[in-house]
Structure 1
Amino acid sequence: GDYDVDGATSSALLKRFIAAVGGRTQVYIPDRIKEGYGPNTPALIKFKDDGISVVVTVDCGTSAFEPLEAAKDAGLEMIVVDHHEAEATLPPATAIINPNRLDDDSGQGQLAAVGVAFLLVVAVNRALRSAGWYETRPEPDLTGWLDLVALGTVCDVVPLTGINRALVSQGLKVMGQRRNTGLKALADVAGLKEAPETYHAGFQLGPRINAGGRIGSPDLGSRLLGTDDADEAMEIAHRLDELNLERRGIEAAVQEAAVEEAEKVGDDLGPLVVCAGEGWHPGVIGIVAGRLKDRFNRPACVIAFDGDTGTGSGRSVTGVDLGAAVIAACQAGILIKGGGHKMAAGFTVEKAKLEELKAFLSDRVATDIKEGDIQPTLYLDGAMKPKAADMNLLEILAQVGPFGAGNPEPRFVIPAAQLSYAAVVGERHVRGFVTGEGGGRLAAISFNCVDSPLGQALLNSDGAPLHLAGRLKVNTWQGRSSAQLHIDDAAPAW
């Protein structure tokens, strides 16, 4: 499996299902630095030597031509369960289950790998039922594993529309029941007490699971989600929490260096940001690429070089298929290997071909980007008065959730509002109370903004009217819940 949350949830899901129907499994997650992404020939040959006959890859394998060819020659039966973009020619395997195959007509290409794995489990379970397998043994409750599906789907930032929305909606309910021993331990370590939402999955649980694959042992996440031993789960959860703290420091250093490199170009960034550095930790380059993408409003790639070879990771913006661009670069002989999907990609490149890669990718994505697409844009869903923001409205809004990629939270503007009692809280946040036309008073907060133009505007408004844009959230304090505005931006209203 892959070493991210999607890979960890996929492998844990298949492990649990196979065990439930009487099978035996061994989960193997490659080391990010030593082995890289996806199946590799030495590992596959060792599986064969150890007596393993069937290997299932999850969240990887679609582009693993050489390893799967070696596996075929060794007599291994390979099954690929993936969602990354495929080339016209596929590697040799008994089955390649991927809704993004060019010959697939299922219409489910937006699934995360864990979603593909879950539908595979549903199909196999149905076949076993038809074959009479459960006449003498209990049938597993597949819905009890939807918490894993929700976690992997949210963390892989696939659109929360269609079947993904249904899977996440039901999966969050299962997550709230804390059936999974590992997820329960991780939630306790993270201090998560309320009913989980996509935010908790994506920003509290997900980063901790990812930390193992980024800078620690790559199998920690899968082991956590696959264990029923409470002591083991708590031990792993604490270790992941420690690694996540360590990851933040490493990430901050790489991000600072990457931003400095990008800003040297000035205003002429072009359609794509590419930053590379010697000795950067490859475990955090994906996160940093995402930060650069958000900062500069265009696709970004970050490459960590170790001598003559670099590991790269990219993040894209809506409408730009970065995975296809990386696959094309691989086919053109510019990359050693590479793959991905529309919003994210990974690759390996020789240092001598860095400039060629920059030019190639820039040309590819330029056709998808218009100048207007890379300008900072804030989309608003409607105008609202402070007195309209109450728990009743929040309950109505919750019905169109869960929110995430492809289904963003509704964002409202409160026109000509006044912010009173504005103050700094927690060193980097600003809170206050919003009043406006029609009366009413609404609590508000803006996170991580003290040093930004937004934070200074809020702190120094002195009662001057501001157009405030933000999202409504439930704020619970001492057992009481009320509406709170999370301010995303402000503009003078005078």
Structure 2
Amino acid sequence: MGQAARQTSSRLFSVDSSATGRFWTMEETDEALVRRLAPSVGGSDLLARLLATRGVDPAHAASYLAPTLRDFFPDPSSFADMDKAVAIILDAILEKKRVTVFADYDVDGGTSSAILARYFRAWGQDLGLYVPDRLEEGYGPSPAAFRHLKETGSDLVITVDCGAAATLALEEAAAIGLPVVVIDHHLMSGAHPPSAALVNPNRPDDTSGCGHLAAAGVVFVFVAALNRLARERGIAPDGGLPDIMPLLDLCALGTLCDMAPLHGVNRAFVRQGLTMMARDQNPGLRALADVAGIGKTETVYHATFMLGPRLNAGGRVGDPWIAAKLLATDDRREAIDLAERLHALNDERKAVESAILDQAMTQAEQALASNPERGILVASGEGWHPGVIGIVAGRLKDRYHLPTIVIGWGEGLGPVAKGSGRSVPGVNIGDAISTAAREGIILSGGGHAMAGGLSLEPSQIAAFDAWMVAHMAQFSAERTAALEFRIDAVLSPGAASPALVDQIAQIGPFGVGSPEPVFALQSVHVTGVRQVGVNHLRFIAEDASGRIECIAWRSADAPLGHVLGQGGRVHVAGRLKADEWNGRRRVQLDVADAAPA
């Protein structure tokens, strides 16, 4: 895809420090490019500008707007070890070997394992399942887990969304004669560990160009390759080769919840996967949608913010097996039971998260008061559950626009303290954590640019905090750049309509790498501010053109809530959402920021 030239103008509305501490800018685009893109979107100047700022050129506009698997699906054989792995698994199916999938405990792992379980079932085979406990076993395979699987009769193991870096575990598997096929997508470095086959588009020697796939995407390519090999051999189960297209709902869910960038085949996975999800063919997803109060499950919001947190709840604060079982079951009664358990665990997760967030915010405020120039926040507490510290780190990062690490330890929470980090663009937190581990500041750790994890003794926290502050001092310019809040277009309240939302949806799906457009309302009058839920605010923004309903999530006790609560004339920025209530379709603005006018 061609990249359009991008330029950033001066401060929009002269907003230099908003309620959330950011400065607003509006991207300028090449007017000639906008004119060339307009025919692709029915002459719409707005959509043409949105495409231009997202790096779409006229030659690729059609495939961007209507992504199909036919256009983007990769050749499975381009993945290192794919053909080898497919032959091993198809032979195991035909020979009726006892195969177990070893899945990570998050949504990507759960959806990946469920895709395989449903594929095996179409061949009349049951696929065993193993999901490690976050507190007792940690992330990924361990030597003990592989010994357990060998002792309990597994002939072959497939790891999904994990395993690529599990050198000790895979060496143990080789020593005890347990063949393992690894299907992963995480970054790798150096020599890969021993395995029967290792499929990972982020292997150093992989040439597929599909490193942007989530594990669920890699697994979907894998089952497509299984069908291809079976077709070449002239074999199939009694009902014919499995139809893998309905599995796109799981592929899309894993892709979205793992925040994989929405370009190339990922756009096709999500666009077509949401269509499959709306058909309600997966009993587990339907049951989870029912307990979450969702009617028709068909949007990125439903998948990412309604289903995803509930599926993750088991791995965070409860039984890590529930999500994978729910997504794989065809039994409606079992699905309802599992969905209700996940819903309850999600409520528990939110309560635990809220308590830790309050304490972590107090620590953050104290740290910034002591040193306003510190380039990172480090919060820690005894009893802070490892299952939610990553979420809390993300909340603090979003609030203060600084890289953040949250650490927890305590009885029953594992042998050492565990930390989880989230970062801002331009500051590689995974590299910083890896460096701290190499220098002996912490026991171990690593990650990627935007997120990382670590282990350390509680006695190391103070020194680690000081080391991180010193290390992050070099990224002053990057932290300043992270405070920029880009606006796509200025909108009058009267122009906000369901029809406009439908028009904007033409350039979706939105997610990482394909951001949802941000609109600014200039100098609107804020009225009717009221608190809803725990700490959300609803209000009306109006001017001479009309009015629009707005909601600012988690803002009542934040600076954003203070600005909105004062009323008067305010600049407001956010994203448009369509909502249906009592048969009436309306539009509201999900507020991301505001500034006094």
Superposition TM-score, scaled by structure 2 size: 0.76
More moved, 227-236 vs 409-418: 409-418
1:249 to 347, 351, 354: 351
Which residue pairs with 1:274 in the alignment? 378
After superposition, what is the alpha-carbon deviation per residue over 1:141-176, rounded to whole angstroms, capped at 9, x for unaligned? 111011111111111122222222221111111111
Which residue pairs with 1:380 in the alignment? 487
Amino acid at match of 1:397: I
CA shift at 1:33, angstroms?
Answer: 0.7
Contact 1:273 1:300 in 2 (8 A): yes
Q: Is 1:72 aligned to 2:179, yes or no? A: no
The verdict on how the C-alpha distance between 1:373 and 1:154 changes in structure 2, with shifts beyond 3 A counting, is farther
CA shift at 1:468, angstroms?
Answer: 2.0
Give the Cα–Cα distance (whole angstroms) in 1 for the partners of residues 425 and 124 of structure 2.
43
Give the Cα–Cα distance (whole angstroms) in 2 for the partners of residues 165 and 465 of structure 1.
39
Which residue pairs with 2:511 in the alignment? 404
Within-5 A mapping of 1:127-166: 127-134=229-236, 137-166=239-268
Amino acid at match of 1:403: F
Which residue pairs with 1:8 in the alignment? 110
Which residue pairs with 1:442 in the alignment? 548
Q: Secondary structure at the match of 2:381?
A: strand
Amino acid at match of 2:557: D
Contact 2:213 2:260 in 1 (8 A): yes
Q: Secondary structure at the match of 2:456?
A: strand
Amino acid at match of 1:434: A
Q: Is 1:206 aligned to 2:328, yes or no? A: no
Q: Is 1:391 aligned to 2:493, yes or no? A: no
Which residue pairs with 2:537 in the alignment? 430
1:297 to 398, 401, 409: 401
CA shift at 1:347, angstroms?
Answer: 3.0
Contact 2:122 2:237 in 1 (8 A): no
The verdict on how the C-alpha distance between 1:135 and 1:57 changes in structure 2, with shifts beyond 3 A counting, is closer
Which residue pairs with 1:491 in the alignment? 595
Give the Cα–Cα distance (whole angstroms) in 1 for the partners of residues 507 and 174 of structure 2.
47
Give the Cα–Cα distance (whole angstroms) in 1 for the partners of residues 422 and 331 of structure 2.
36
Give the Cα–Cα distance (whole angstroms) in 2 for the partners of residues 492 and 224 of structure 1.
48
CA shift at 1:352, angstroms?
Answer: 4.9
Q: Secondary structure at the match of 1:134?
A: coil
Amino acid at match of 1:446: A
Structure with the greater relative contact order (CA < 8 A, sep ≥ 6): 1 or 2? 2
More moved, 401-410 vs 447-456: 447-456
Which residue pairs with 2:46 in the alignment? none
Name the count of aligned residue pairs.
490
CA shift at 1:292, angstroms?
Answer: 1.9
Give the Cα–Cα distance (whole angstroms) in 2 for the partners of residues 78 and 331 of structure 1.
30
1:222 to 321, 324, 343: 324
CA shift at 1:436, angstroms?
Answer: 2.9
More moved, 325-334 vs 89-98: 325-334
Amino acid at match of 2:256: V
Amino acid at match of 2:595: A
Give the Cα–Cα distance (whole angstroms) in 2 for the partners of residues 430 and 50 of structure 1.
54
The verdict on how the C-alpha distance between 1:385 and 1:361 changes in structure 2, with shifts beyond 3 A counting, is same
Amino acid at match of 1:302: V
Amino acid at match of 1:470: G
Contact 1:271 1:365 in 2 (8 A): yes
Amino acid at match of 1:176: A
Amino acid at match of 1:106: S
Which residue pairs with 1:345 in the alignment? 452
Q: Is 1:236 aligned to 2:338, yes or no? A: yes
2:522 to 398, 415, 423: 415
Q: Is 1:458 aligned to 2:561, yes or no? A: no
Which residue pairs with 1:20 in the alignment? 122
The verdict on how the C-alpha distance between 1:355 and 1:63 changes in structure 2, with shifts beyond 3 A counting, is farther
CA shift at 1:361, angstroms?
Answer: 5.6
Contact 2:402 2:479 in 1 (8 A): no
Which residue pairs with 1:90 in the alignment? 192
Q: Is 1:188 aligned to 2:290, yes or no? A: yes
Within-5 A mapping of 1:28-177: 28-134=130-236, 137-177=239-279
Gaps of 5+ in 2: 1-102
- The percent identity for this pair of structures is 46
Contact 2:425 2:482 in 1 (8 A): no
Contact 1:321 1:365 in 2 (8 A): no
Within-5 A mapping of 1:329-340: 329-330=436-437, 336-340=443-447
Amino acid at match of 2:484: T
Contact 1:316 1:342 in 2 (8 A): yes
